[in-house]
Chain A
């Protein structure tokens, strides 16, 4: 046990500056919510937006100085990996808030201070998950994020579906957390430390520990716990119901932010420190990856509700990202990071368009509601097509480059069949993404009850334009971002 220094050096605080900004903003927003009469509705959203942008700027400003370091006695790791994922999560928060500000025009509750403060708290939790160097901090961060998200899922207080979604997510999530905690305990028992770097060091110096059942059990439980969060098959059951019931803005947030944070934790806590165990997890993870892709894509084929469809598609995407986990090399890790970045833009973008199709207190979530939209609102149709083509992995979008990166690295590690399976899956997925495009462009607008987009705020325009541009830039000029991801991998030197 190290002696705890009461006065910490300022650099430690600089390392967590984005989180400090996020939490501070969350508190301010919460207070603004209390004094509802004094501040008008949109000010809350704007404050939250400003806070998240400041956090993003802080991240860029602090950057990473090449050499990894740690703060708070190894609790927080400050390296390229932290930088990259903090950046991605901040982008996700910013986009989510922009989407929410428009979405809130249709729903009273989304306008409140609690909503935005919960988003920010969840965001802070995600960032802490990405930077945690200690399993305890990792767990606390995960819970911070999860509890905030449980509450956000049930934010449509007047809709039964939303409550059901939140309850389901909460129950299963609690199970997942329990598994995870159990796993941490086993790992602690096996290695005598909760510090990720020390765990890795211990395993390196005591290779015989790899055969210890404790460690294997710890690994399996941890995988199950994280599996819940990334909706890996067979822990995916909650995903469609939760994604469908949650407010659309939150669905996008969950699908990207939670996934990014959970994958970050997966890399931090398992992929790198437990790397010597790789040969024993590859068979399990091979099957899990295959199933995650396949189950997600095949069930998505049959969905009529676009949120459910995107939920299943997000399961499938988790499968593609897991390819990198199976491959296990540093470059594969970079591929995962790159994919998470692309996925953030394309998925939030798609959900942002879905969130536009609302009227007061009601959402239009059927794929058939998109009929004729493409020519009625050409720009929205275009950006939605960009997002969907990117999700389907067609060039010249970021989705293609992300898949290309992951496939290449998985092949380099020799997983030819898994890559082939992923390829077949991509083709299957094209069908259901194409269905939305077919509905948007080829089906005539329905007579009478045509869906109208009644509110397009400047915020959502910026969000959609930025996301679509990012998806295209990531697809056409990926070079810089490839090397950024390549420089941001987490390794133990």
Chain B
């Protein structure tokens, strides 16, 4: 499929880990080497970003199949393989990860004062786990990285978090672990099914795509995967860990959580539960769409009521992720591309908002909106960046979210118009609470004396924010650049999904053609996959 001989994905996965191990050997009792540690971590994460750039350059956007694949047998007796690769769907998520980690290191430069070494180690370790989860194509390898993400994030919240950090960290851990254990059982069950049908069990995702799963089993398995991913997204009503985790986490933790970890859930839907269980996904569609809508509106309303800026942004995440899920489950090219695009946008915008809230918290040690007012005059640069992030977040034309949300809405209207109507109302609420916040914090007279002498952003902070601000507009004005890369993968995804769904549908209705259809479709898909030919959209 791809003749890229350098194992670039493995390098991306393990380079941060190696750096983290190196950091362990630097002495830092009493923080005498903290500056050095930060510099090393920053350089490491920037190098990581540079390593990921060739992915963009050499990515072949005419192919729907996996690229840059690496395949190494891991455990022979269970036919477990270290199998990684990316397609148009995961490409941008990997890029998003490598893009954000250096910014997180930068934004924690002064914010994290104690145990800096361990903070940086956790950060790099987390990067390894996140990239690993995005690129793995073997279910067990995916599960390993998926669980691995928990530990550093847990430490980030628990050690460097706010007042209720222990509660939040444990809640975060247990919620996610509880969801994923069912996924593990489902993964093993899939292995067992493939063992029963073919005589050789496999955890290889691409092989399992071709597996015929009985409808009854499909419903259970899909439910198990869906719960794991819905907790991660988080889908209403499983979202309660999110505001806690966000509010208590240090800035960098919130940014990573919002920008990347939450995407794990939506990515999981797209990569695992939908293509593996098309029939069951279809059955669950109304429920999930309803929950997504509920999340959009509920998240927006609760965000509106928050006096705390960070909480407001956290609840806005619940709302925005609702859009993403709605888009994905609209199951047409606009909806899915919009969903993926919105994943990136949400990462960029909400990441920016958390960074900015963190910056102001570092200055005033409060995040209550009532404590501010009139900051626009005191901190003009800050005001500009917050404006950009806010506009991006409320989907003003010209910014990135506009493209994503429009695509999602078009997709949603095509599939279920009523949902589309409700989703639009969420957008209106979004404008209300975001601008409300901006107005309260930025405009009006300076009421609190302490705010008068607040220093504006320093050079480091500007360097942190600038790439994001640029990205907001680039993604808003040239969406084609980004969408183009994912086109063929998404088309192929939908095509596969539809044909498999029809096959199951036929089987369900007892159509005699079912079995023949099955054989034909599988062979057909297989040929397409092997050839990596761009498939015509429907």
Contact surface of A with B, Cβ cutoff 8 Å: 375, 378, 389, 394-396, 400, 404-405, 407-408, 411-412, 416, 419-420, 423-424, 426-427, 430-431, 434, 438, 441-443, 478-479, 482-483, 486
Q: Is the pair B192, A442 in contact by a Cβ cutoff of 8 Å? A: no
Q: Is the CB of A419 within 8 A of B170?
A: no
Q: Which residues of B contact A441 (CB under 8 A)?
A: 155, 158-159
> Is B443 positioned at the interface, with any CB of A under 8 Å from its CB?
no
Would B78 and A442 count as touching, CB distance under 8 A?
no
Is B177's CB within 8 Å of the partner chain A?
Answer: yes
- Extra pairs beyond A423-B182, A438-B169 (6, CB < 8 Å): A378-B118, A389-B151, A430-B173, A434-B170, A482-B75, A483-B76
Name which of B33-41, B142-150, B293-301, B521-529 contacts chain A. B142-150
Q: List 6 A-B contacts (CB under 8 A).
A: A395-B148, A405-B78, A411-B192, A442-B165, A442-B169, A443-B166
Q: How far is the CA of A419 from the CA of B224 in the complex (A)?
A: 14
**Smallest Cβ-Cβ distance to B115: which chain A residue:** A375
B residues less than 8 Å from A408 (CB atoms): 78, 188, 191-192
Task: Give chain A residues whose Cβ lies under 8 Å from the Cβ of B158.
Answer: 438, 441-442
Bound-state Cα–Cα, A423 to B195, Å: 21
- Interface pair A427/B188, CB less than 8 Å apart: no
Q: Take A407-B188, A408-B192 as given contacts and tell me if A427 and B181 are in contact as well, using a CB distance cutoff of 8 Å.
A: yes
Enumerate the 6 nearest inter-chain pairs by beta-carbon distance, A residue then B residue, closest first. Answer: A395-B144, A423-B181, A442-B158, A479-B75, A427-B178, A482-B77
Complex Cα gap A419–B169 (Å): 27
Flag if A419 contacts B159 (CB, 8 Å). Answer: no
Cβ of B321 under 8 Å from chain A: no
Chain A contacts for B174, CB-based, 8 A: 427, 430-431, 434
> Given contacts A408-B192, A442-B159, A482-B77, is CB(A431)–CB(B143) below 8 Å?
no
A-B pair number, CB within 8 angstroms: 83
In contact, A438 and B166 (Cβ under 8 angstroms) = yes
A373 to chain B, nearest CB (A): 13
Is B478 close to A, CB under 8 A? no
Q: Does B387 contact A (CB under 8 A)?
A: no
The CA of A396 and the CA of B436, in the complex, are separated in Å by: 46
Complex Cα distance A178/B151, Å?
47
**Bound: A372/B252 CA distance, A:** 23
- Of the residues A411, A430, A479, contact of B177 by C-beta under 8 Å: A430
**Chain A residues within 8 Å of B140, by CB:** 404
Does B74 sit within 8 A of A, measured CB to CB? yes
B163-184, CB < 8 A from A: 165-166, 169-170, 173-174, 177-178, 181-182, 184
Q: Verify if B384 is at the interface (C-beta below 8 Å from A).
A: no
Q: Report the separation of the CA atoms of residues A479 and B118 in the bound assembly, to the nearest whole angstrom.
A: 31
Give Cα distance in the complex from A404 to B180, angstroms.
13
Q: Nearest Cβ in chain B — how far from A342, in angstroms?
A: 14
Contact pick for B166, options A400, A423, A442, CB 8 Å? A442
Which B-chain residue is minimally distant from A410 (CB atoms)? B188
B58 within 8 A of A: no
Q: Which residue of A lies closest to B141 (CB)?
A: A395
A408 to B187 CA separation, bound complex (whole angstroms): 9
A-chain residues with CB within 8 Å of residue B78 when the two chains form the complex: 405, 408, 482
Count residues of B near A (Cβ-Cβ below 8 Å): 35
Q: Are B76 and A426 in contact (CB under 8 A)?
A: no
Distance of A139 Cα from B517 Cα, bound (Å): 62
Instruction: Kindly provide the distance from the CB of B126 to the nearest chain A CB, expressed in whole angstroms.
Output: 14
Residue of B whose beta carbon sits closest to that of A413: B192
- A483 contacts across to B, CB distance below 8 A: 76-77
> In the assembly, what is the distance between CA of A10 and CA of B188, in Å?
48
> Once the chains are docked, how many angstroms separate the CA of A416 from the CA of B150?
26
Across the interface, name the chain B residue whose C-beta is closest to A475.
B144
B115 touches A407 (CB 8 A): no
CB distance from B142 to the nearest CB of A (A): 11
Interface hits, B72-99 → A, CB 8 Å: 74-78
Q: Is B432 part of the contact surface with A, judged by Cβ < 8 Å?
A: no
Chain A residues with Cβ below 8 Å from B155 are 441
Whether, in the assembled complex, B4 has its beta carbon less than 8 Å from a beta carbon of chain A, the answer is no
Contact B166 A419 (CB under 8 A): no
Is A394 touching B150 in the complex (CB atoms < 8 A)?
yes
Check if B185 is an interface residue, CB within 8 A of chain A: yes
How many angstroms between the C-alpha atoms of A426 and B147 in the bound complex?
Answer: 13
Q: Cα distance A407–B144 when bound, in Å?
A: 16
Q: How far is the CB of A23 from chain B (nearest CB, A)?
A: 36
Q: Which of A424, A434, A438 contacts B181 (CB 8 A)?
A: A424
The docked-state distance in angstroms from the alpha carbon of A441 to that of B144 is: 23
- Within 8 Å by CB of A411, from B74, B151, B165, B189, lies B189
Asked if A404 meets B188 with Cβ closer than 8 Å, knowing A395-B144, A412-B195, the reply is: yes
Q: In the complex, what residues of A have CB within 8 A of residue B75's CB?
A: 478-479, 482
- Do B184 and A423 touch (CB < 8 A)? yes
The answer for the CA separation of A482 and B76 in the assembled complex, in Å, is: 9
- Pairwise interchain contact A486-B77, C-beta atoms closer than 8 A: yes
Report how far A405 CA is from B74 CA in the complex, Å: 14
Known A-B contacts A404-B140, A438-B166, A486-B77; the reply to A423 vs B118 at CB < 8 A is no
Given that A395-B144, A408-B192 are contacting pairs, would A438 and B184 also be in contact in the complex, using a CB cutoff of 8 Å?
A: no
Q: Of all chain A residues, which has the CB nearest B182?
A: A423
A408 to B77, CA, bound (A): 12
Complex Cα gap A478–B178 (Å): 25
Give chain B nearest CB distance to A412 CB in angstroms: 6
Residue of A nearest to B158 (CB): A442
Nearest CB of A to B1, in Å: 26
CA–CA, A476 to B166, complex, Å? 29
Report if A420-B185 is in contact (Cβ < 8 Å); known contacts: A396-B148, A404-B140, A438-B158.
Answer: yes
Contact A434 B173 (CB under 8 A): yes
